[in-house]
């Protein structure tokens, strides 16, 4: 009996690692290949669909997977795309962002199934993202005015991520394929 239990634990751990890797990859791909550089931002702002995948990961799988997917997926993007200085800030901002979405959407046995709470989760995480990147950019560039030019792009990222991510998360949960 104990051997079966141990094998089940190994299978669950393997499945957990596989899901995490897939989610990290999806966040990275959506950030790397589905993006637009903003001409209005002083420091080269970027609008991408990485938030869509981060929101889906957190709503479908919860706070831990949301945090891991967001932190590693988007920090990896920074590292391979010439934004290395941003990677530590991105790791923190996006990790906390995924954790917030997952925590709020899964609280009180909601399990990511309540649209209103999912929207609240994205709004709270979006406010964190805007504040976190404002501070990160202020530190990186030693200027506390210039980071304000990134706020419109960040808002667009959050809104587009929610518009695309929420229906996809609902569809994945209803399909029960995961």
What's the confidence (pLDDT) of residue 4? Answer: 64
SS3 state at 11: helix
What's the confidence (pLDDT) of residue 74? Answer: 97
CATH class, 2-175 region: mainly alpha
What's the confidence (pLDDT) of residue 56? Answer: 98
Give the pTM.
0.92
In contact, 101 and 58? CB cutoff 8 Å: yes
Domain locations in the chain as residue ranges: 2-175
Q: What does the block give as tokens for 131?
A: 């504040």
Mean pLDDT (10-residue bins), the chain, 178 residues: 69 93 97 80 73 98 98 97 95 98 97 97 98 96 92 92 97 87
Angle, vertex CA 108, rays to CA 173 and CA 15, nearest 5: 45
How far apart are the C-alpha atoms of 108 and 168, rounded to whole Å?
Answer: 22
What's the confidence (pLDDT) of residue 43? Answer: 58
What's the confidence (pLDDT) of residue 2? Answer: 52
């Amino acid at each position: 009996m104990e051997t079966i239990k141990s094998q089940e634990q190994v299978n669950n751990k393997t499945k957990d690692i596989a899901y995490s890797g897939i989610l990290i990859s999806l966040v990275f791909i959506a950030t790397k290949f589905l993006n637009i550089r903003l001409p209005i931002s002083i420091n080269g702002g970027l609008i991408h669909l990485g938030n869509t995948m981060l929101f889906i990961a957190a709503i479908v799988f919860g706070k831990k997977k949301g945090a891991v997917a967001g932190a590693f997926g988007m920090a990896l993007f920074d590292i391979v795309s010439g934004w290395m200085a941003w990677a530590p800030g991105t790791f923190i901002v996006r990790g906390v962002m995924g954790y917030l979405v997952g925590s709020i959407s899964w609280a009180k046995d909601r399990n990511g199934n309540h649209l209103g709470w999912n929207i609240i989760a994205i709004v709270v995480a979006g406010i964190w993202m805007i504040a976190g990147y404002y501070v990160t950019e202020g530190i990186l560039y030693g200027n506390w005015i210039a980071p304000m030019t990134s706020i419109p792009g960040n808002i667009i990222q959050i809104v587009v991520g929610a518009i695309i991510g929420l229906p996809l998360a609902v569809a994945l949960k209803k399909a029960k394929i995961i």
